[in-house]
Amino acid sequence: DTGVSQNPRHKITKRGQNVTFRCDPISEHNRLYWYRQTLGQGPEFLTYFQNEAQLEKSRLLSDRFSAERPKGSFSTLEIQRTEQGDSAMYLCASSPQQGRNEKLFFGSGTQLSVL
């Protein structure tokens, strides 16, 4: 169990640029979640996958955001035409089971700063 890995740890970009983050979940974990966290707030749900299928997306999520999980392993989150309001910590989490009471294993996050 090497934990959930996220890369890069920090990303600074200019407004209008595209950025992509990667998440490697714990091996054999079926579920993968993306959350966003801003200063003073709790994690806000973005999207989640069951294996390679994207099962749910936040209704608040802009069309500029897209996520993939090819082959049900690692996942990428892309933000197109970044805006200053996209500046946040992007968290990835995974869980092994399909139950409602399973804990999430979180990565350390990717801190995005949009200038």
Q: Which is nearer to other proteins, 7 or 108 (CB)?
A: 108
CB atoms within 10 A of CB 115: 10
What's the rounded Cα separation, in Å, for the pair 41 and 95? 22
The residues that touch other proteins, with contacts defined as CB under 8 A, are: 4, 31, 33, 35, 40-45, 48, 56, 91, 93, 98, 100-101, 103-109
CA separation for the pair 81, 13 (Å, rounded) = 10
Instruction: Please provide the size of the chain in residues.
Output: 115
Q: What's the min distance (Å) between Cβ of 100 and other proteins?
A: 5
We find the least distance from the C-beta atom of residue 27 to other proteins, in angstroms, to be: 17
**Is 71 or 103 the residue whose CB approaches other proteins more closely?**
103
